[in-house]
Structure 1
Amino acid sequence: MMVPKLRFSEFKGKWQSDLFGNVVTNKSAKYNPSTEEEDLPCLEMDSISQEDGRILHIYSAKQQASIKNRFSSGDVLFGKLRPYLRKYILAPFNGVCSSEVWVLHGLNINNKFLFHYVQTNKFIECANKSSGSKMPRADWSVVSSEMMSFPQEKEQAKIADFLSSVDEKISLLNKQYGLFCRYKKGMIQKIFSQEVRFKDDSGNEFPEWEEVELKQIAIKVNTKNRDNSVSTVLTNSATQGIVSQESYFEREIVTESNLTGYYVVRIGDFVYNPRISSTAPVGPIKMNELTQGVMSPLYTVFRFEKGLLKFYQYFLESSVWHDYMKSVANSGARHDRMNISGADFFGLPVPQPFEEEQTKIAKFLSTLDEKIAVKKAELDKLKTWKQGLLQQMFV
C-alpha cells in the first residue's frame, strides 16, 4: 500500500495493490485473414512509433498472411517484441494487430490510466525481463506476476486526463516539427531541381548553373592512420550523420590496436558506403561535423577543394542527387550488383552555381535547420518533462 510522490491535492489515502494479471487482461479474439470476410485496419509493429503513442501506418487485414489479435477502440496496445522500444498506443478504432502486440484491457482500472502506466520505467523494466537475446519478447507470465499499485477510479481518471493533455501538447509540437521537416525537404527538392532560384542583393538573377564532374572539385581521401595517432572511431548513420562508433553501438567495436588501416577523416570531409542494396545505389553521404576521427576502409572518404561545403552537404542529401544515382545504377552502363564503382562515382555530375548563390542557398537551408532544431529541442524537453511526471505520479 503506497502513495505517489506527486499527487492532486483533493485525493488522500493509500493506493491499492494487486498482481498486474489480476488488474489487466491480455486476452483477445483472433482474426484469420484467410477465412474472415470482413476487412479491418491492421497495425503491425512498424505501425507504432517509439515512445509517443502515434500510429505511423495502417495496413489492410485481408492482405496479411498471419493470424492477428483483435482489439477494440480504447484498448491499450503494447509491442511485446523488443519492449525497450516503448511501442504503445491507445487504440482509436476497432481493428486487428500483429501477434507481437499485446491487447491490454483494464479489469479493475481505467484503460486511459493503464495506457500511461505502461509508459513508466517500472513497467518497461518489467517487460524487459524477457526471453531471447536477438529478438527479446516480453513474457506475460513475468509481467502478470508483478505487483501494480493504483488509486480509486476518480483519481485514475484525473491522472489520465492530465497526462492526456500533456500528450496533446506533445502531439501539436510533433506536427509542427514534422511540418518544418517536410517544408525543408520540399524546398531542397525545388532548389536543386532549380524550380526555385535565388537572386543577388540587387535583385538580379544569377547566371545559369554549370555542371562539373565530382572529381573536378573533390578528391578521394585515403590517408591511413598508420601511427595510430587518431583513436576516435566514427561511423555513418543515415539518420544521425557522422557519429562516434561507441555512442552509436553503445559499445566498442574495434580497438586501437587495429586502427592502422583506417582512414583519417577530418571535419568537413564527406563519407559514404559504396556497398549498396537495390533501393539505394550509394549509401547515405554525410559530412563529418563532429570531430577528427577514423573510419573503416569499407567507407569512401572525399573532400571538396572547391565550392561551399554546406551547399554540397545539402545537395548530396537531396532527392535530386539520389534519384539521379538510382538511374545511373539501373542503366546497366555503370552498374554492378547495384553498386557504382569509385571511378564512376567521382565522374558523376554535380551542380556548380555562382558562389554567391551557393552561399544564399546554404544560408536559407541552414536557417530552416535552426528552426527545426529549436522545435526538436522544445519537443524533447516536453517529452522529458512527461517522463518525469510518469515516474512521480505512479507508484
Structure 2
Amino acid sequence: MQMKDLPEGWQLIQLRDAVTKVGSGVTPKGGKESYQASGIPLIRSQNVLDGVLDIKEVAFISEKQHRQMSSSAVYAGDVLLNITGASIGRSCVAPHGIGEANVNQHVCIIRPTAIITPQYLNLVLCSSYGQRLIDSYQAGGGRQGLNFEQIKSFPIPTPPVEQQRLINGAITTWDDALKLQARKLQQLRKRKKEVAFRLMSGTKRLEGFTGEWRNAILSEFFARLTTRNAVGNTNVLTISAQQGLVSQTRYFNKSIASEEVSTYYLLNRGDFAYNKSYSAGYPMGVIKPLTQYDQGIVSPLYICMRPITNDGGFFEHFFEIGILNRGISRIAQEGARNHGLLNVSARDFMELDVRIPEADERRAIAEVLNTATKEIRLEEDKLAALREQKRGLLHQLLTGQLRLS
C-alpha cells in the first residue's frame, strides 16, 4: 500500500511511531512446573485467538514471578500478537477488567498511543492486508517467527481517530451477526448430537420400529481395506474431526506425506479411515468416510475399511458420536503409544462389538440424521458467506474505498 492510494487525511505510518511498547515476556523459571492452580494469569499463544482473548484454560504464575516479569505485564487496551509457531499472526485486544496479567515469549504486547485505537490496530492485523504483511516477513513462507524490529516497521494505514472508531463500530456490528450465526450452528450441532445418541443407543425409537436390536461385530458391515497405491495417486488425505477426510495441501497448506507414497492405502468415495491419533475431545481417534473426492490415499498408519451393506450413511453418524470409544479403549494397549497413536490392531478393531438395529431401521435413522446434517451445512454456508462479506467490507474500510460518517 502506498501513500498515494490513501484518502485525504489518512497516513501510512510505521507502527513504531504509534506505540509506546513492543515486547514479549519469557517462560517463567521452571517452565510448566512453575504454573499454579491460581494466581496471576500468564497469557500464552493458545489464549490469543482471532480477535478474542480466551482465558478458559489460562496458566497461572505467582505474584513473585509476575513482579520479576514486570516488563511484560499486560494492561487493558494492549494489542496481543502471536509471534511464533503455527498460530503466528493471531491477535486480540486485552479487554477492560482483565486485571493483572502477563505474557510469555510467544506473545507480543503492542501498546498504542492516542494516534491509533487498539481496536483499529487489531482490525488491521487481523485483515488480509495485515496477514499478508506478517507473511512477507517469514522466510520462504514458513511463518516461523517475528522479531520486534519487524513488528515496529509494519506500515499501518491510519485514518483520523474518529474514522477509526466508526470502522470499529461497523465491524463490531458484523461480528455480532457472526456470533449469532455461530451460536445457531452450535445449537443445531448439539441438538443433532443428542438426537443421534438417543437413536443410535436405542433409547429413542422411530415410529413404526419395535424389533429387537442384536449384537454384531464391525466386520459384518465392513471389509478391511489394504489396497496399496499402485496407480500413482497423489491426493494425500488427512482426517480432520470437523472436515472429515481432506487433502493435506488444503488442511496444512503443504504436504507432509513421505515422498514415497506407493505404500499408502488407496480409498474410493464412500470408504472409511480410522486415524488412531488421540487429541482433545477425541481421546480414541476419529473415523470418517471419504466424501469430498472420488479417490485419495492415506498413510498406512490408518485403519481403512469399505462398507459391504447399504445403510444410507448410518455408520457415518454412528462413528461420529463416539459409540465405539468404549470398545476402542478396551482393545488399546495401555501405555503403548507410538508417535501419538493409540496402539490398536486392525484385527481387534474389525472385531469390535456393536449393538445394532436391522437394516430398515438403520436406513430410517440415517435419513433423520442426514436431514439434520443438511440443515447444519446450510447454516455453515451462511456463516462462511458472512465471514467472506466481512472480509470484503473490512478491506474497503481499511483502504478508504468506503468512508463512514
Report the Cα distance in structure 1 between the residues aligned to 2:337 and 2:153, rounded to whole angstroms: 55
Bigger Cα displacement from structure 2, 122-131 vs 360-369: 122-131
Q: Residue 324 of structure 2: SS of its match in structure 1?
A: helix
What amino acid is aligned across from residue 285 of structure 1 in structure 2? Answer: I
What amino acid is aligned across from residue 266 of structure 2 in structure 1? Answer: V
Report the Cα distance in structure 2 between the residues aligned to 1:35 and 1:219, rounded to whole angstroms: 48
The residue that corresponds to 2:271 in the other structure is: 269
Bigger Cα displacement from structure 2, 276-285 vs 173-182: 276-285
2:173 is the alignment partner of 1:165: yes
Alignment of 1:340-379 (within 5 A): 340-379=344-383
- 135 and 391 in structure 1: CA distance in 2 versus 1, 3 angstrom threshold: closer
Report the Cα distance in structure 2 between the residues aligned to 1:339 and 1:362, rounded to whole angstroms: 31
Report the Cα distance in structure 2 between the residues aligned to 1:269 and 1:300, rounded to whole angstroms: 11
The residue that corresponds to 2:289 in the other structure is: 287
Identity, % of aligned pairs? Answer: 23
Bigger Cα displacement from structure 2, 106-115 vs 76-85: 76-85
Say whether the 8 Å CA contact 1:90–1:115 is kept in structure 2. yes
The residue that corresponds to 1:141 in the other structure is: 149
The residue that corresponds to 1:26 in the other structure is: 21
- 364 and 47 in structure 1: CA distance in 2 versus 1, 3 angstrom threshold: farther
1:117 aligns with one of 99, 111, 124:
124
State the Cα deviation string for residues 311-369 of structure 1 (Å, max 9, x = none).
1111122222123311332679xx88742222211111123212222122212221221
What amino acid is aligned across from residue 178 of structure 1 in structure 2? Answer: Q
The residue that corresponds to 2:403 in the other structure is: none
Q: Which runs of 5+ in 1 are unaligned?
A: 6-11
Report the Cα distance in structure 2 between the residues aligned to 1:369 and 1:185, rounded to whole angstroms: 10
Aligned-pair distance for 1:243?
A: 2.0
Q: Which runs of 5+ in 2 are unaligned?
A: 400-405
Say whether the 8 Å CA contact 1:130–1:138 is kept in structure 2. yes
2:244 aligns with one of 241, 244, 248:
241
1:102 aligns with one of 92, 104, 108:
108
Q: Residue 182 of structure 1: SS of its match in structure 2?
A: helix
Report the Cα distance in structure 1 between the residues aligned to 2:37 and 2:302, rounded to whole angstroms: 51
Report the Cα distance in structure 1 between the residues aligned to 2:203 and 2:37, rounded to whole angstroms: 48
Q: TM-score when scaled to structure 1?
A: 0.81
The residue that corresponds to 1:45 in the other structure is: 45
Computed over aligned residues only, the root mean square deviation of the Cα atoms, in angstroms, reads 3.7
Report the Cα distance in structure 2 between the residues aligned to 1:241 and 1:61, rounded to whole angstroms: 35
- 14 and 43 in structure 1: CA distance in 2 versus 1, 3 angstrom threshold: same
State the Cα deviation string for residues 78-135 of structure 1 (Å, max 9, x = none).
2122476542222223233333122222202122222212212332233331479877
Report the Cα distance in structure 2 between the residues aligned to 1:320 and 1:154, rounded to whole angstroms: 55
2:317 is the alignment partner of 1:320: no
State the Cα deviation string for residues 236-276 of structure 1 (Å, max 9, x = none).
33332122344334445669x95544433221111124577
- 38 and 299 in structure 1: CA distance in 2 versus 1, 3 angstrom threshold: closer
Q: TM-score when scaled to structure 2?
A: 0.80
Report the Cα distance in structure 2 between the residues aligned to 1:264 and 1:120, rounded to whole angstroms: 39
Say whether the 8 Å CA contact 2:276–2:286 is kept in structure 1. no
Alignment of 1:48-87 (within 5 A): 48-49=48-49, 51-53=50-52, 55=54, 57-62=56-61, 69-82=72-85, 85-87=88-90
| Count of residues in correspondence between the two structures | 380
Say whether the 8 Å CA contact 2:25–2:106 is kept in structure 1. no
